[in-house]
Amino acid sequence: MCEIEKLRNIAFQFIPETKDIEIKPLGAGHINDSFKVTADGKEYVLQRINHAIFKNVPELQNNILRVTTHIRRKLQEKGESEINRKVLTLVAAKNGALFHQDASGNYWRLMDFIAGSKSYDNINPQLAYRAGLAFGDFQRMLADLPGAPLFETIPHFHDMASRLADFSESVKADRAKRVAKTSGIIGEIEARAEEFGLPERLHREGKLPKRTNHCDTKVNNILFDENDKVLCVVDLDTVMPGYVLSDFGDFIRTGANTGAEDDKNLDNISVDLAIFEGYAKGYLEKATFLNETEIENLAFGAKLLTYMQTVRFFTDYLNGDTYYKTEYPEHNLVRTKAQFKLLQSLEENFDKMKSIVAKLKK
């Protein structure tokens, strides 16, 4: 059976069989594979869930159902229009499950495609402001999610200590025999390990709470409509308990970088403070539940997530590229260097970022 035929059969586990169906690759995520399905005039997103990474697919899908159901209710209470464009809608398989497992053991899910939407890898301060409102609102809507805390779809996901332990182990094991090629990076990571243990220390002191976080607030995980108004936050696989610093920081890491996440030209990379300010303004307007410690450390969150991503890309490079999709052999090393350059720019601008937050808070 050819690839397209296989994909069609998978789609038919969720929707009625039809000849009027078209399937095309979609998006540029580093983890799952996505396709756009058009069948009988309706549009969907079909995704192969990377279950080497998301090991418990039923719990993962259950999290997404809880989150989207809660948000849908909130939007209805607010009297929003076009709710199906403002929150994701999962399509259940014909057997009632929220996923389908195929004969080779792969897991699949289907969602409605949000029509007339687009995402950006590069934005301007005005769009950053709108994105800040959107992620602030997202956290606020989920602050009273009923029931037990969400399932941790990836254990220790944004846990810096655990990421550093994986890094040290990978340096020691040197499975892909790449340590020799990496010169100063190991030392740069080690020199900052103590500084980035701060959130855990604040948590132990009772000052930094865990809240329901998106945990992947990449700039391209926000959908805008044709007039550049925010429609919807997507990529909900990692919505789970975490520190708000993570969500704030991951947006700055991706949205306020003047270069690309994998830029080969390090001169392109620096923090765009106008985008930082736009995002912080929008976020603080909506995230009215934050305590002092959380607000004071938002700028630190930008450094933290960029450091964390440096460590994650580098660890994957040392492991021989087993986690992130790569386009060429040294891709993870290029990503590592680009993230590290951004970290240096954030370090240079740290006081400015802190003053921006302090000014906005008043």
Closest distance between ligand GN1 and the C-beta of residue 313, in Å?
Answer: 8
Chain-centre distance for alpha carbon 148? 22
Q: Is 242 in the site for ligand GN1 (CB under 6 A)?
A: no
As a whole number of angstroms, the distance between CA 9 and CA 11 comes to 5
Among 11, 21, 23, 29, binds ligand GN1 (CB under 6 A): 29
Question: Does 48 interact with ligand GN1 (rule: CB under 6 A)?
Answer: no
Binding residues for Mg ion, total number by CB under 5 A: 3
Choose between 4 and 165: whose C-beta lies nearer to ligand GN1.
165
Q: Which does residue 185 bind out of Mg ion, ligand GN1, none, counting CB within 5 to 8 angstroms by kind?
A: none
Taking each helix axis from N to C end, the angle separating 160-173 and 185-192, rounded to the nearest 10 degrees, works out to 150
Q: Is 247 in the site for Mg ion (CB under 5 A)?
A: no
Q: How far is the CB of 90 from Mg ion (least distance, A)?
A: 17
Which residue stretch of 11-19, 233-241, 280-288, 292-300 sits at the interface with ligand GN1 (rule: CB under 6 A)? 233-241
Count of residues touching ligand GN1 (by CB under 6 A): 12
Q: Which stretch binds ligand GN1 (CB under 6 A): 1-9, 28-36, 106-114, 140-148?
A: 28-36
Of 250 and 321, which CB lies nearer to Mg ion in the complex structure?
250
- Tell me 123's DSSP state: -
Query: Helix 185-192 crosses helix 331-348 at what angle (to 10 degrees)?
Result: 40
Question: Given candidates 23, 29, 67, 276, which one binds Mg ion under the rule CB under 5 A?
Answer: 29
Q: Write down the least CB distance from residue 155 to ligand GN1, Å.
A: 12
Let me know how many helices (H) and strands (E) the chain has, helices first.
Answer: 12, 10
Based on the shown chain and the rule CB under 6 A, indicate whether residue 316 belongs to the binding site for ligand GN1.
no
Out of 8, 21, 44, 235, name the contact with Mg ion by CB under 5 A: 235
Q: Which residues contact 237 (CB under 8 A, 6 or more apart)?
A: 31, 32, 49, 54, 60, 64, 153, 216
Amino acid at position 84, single letter: N
* Sole window of 12-20, 89-97, 129-137, 235-243 interacting with ligand GN1 (rule: CB under 6 A): 235-243
If you compute the radius of gyration of the chain from its CA atoms, what whole number of angstroms results? 21
Q: Under the criterion CB under 5 A, does residue 321 sit at the interface with Mg ion?
A: no
The CA–CA distances, whole Å, from 138 to 115, 117, 121, 214, 309 equal: 20, 18, 20, 8, 23
What is the rounded CA–CA span in Å between residue 57 and residue 49?
Answer: 8
- 218 near ligand GN1 (CB under 6 A): yes
Query: With DSSP H G I counted as helix, E B as strand and the rest as coil, what are the percentages for the chain, rounded to 5?
Result: 50, 15, 40
Binding ligand GN1 by CB under 6 A: which of 6, 30, 36, 286? 30
| 294 touches Mg ion (CB under 5 A) | no
Query: Can residue 262 be called a binding residue for ligand GN1 (CB under 6 A)?
Result: no
Dihedral angle computed from the Cα positions of residues 154, 160, 166 and 170, in that order, rounded to the nearest 10 degrees: 130
First to last CA, the chain: 62
Interface with ligand GN1 (CB under 6 A): 29-31, 53, 216, 218, 221, 235, 237-238, 261, 309
Residues lying near Mg ion in the complex (CB under 5 A) are found at 29, 221, 235
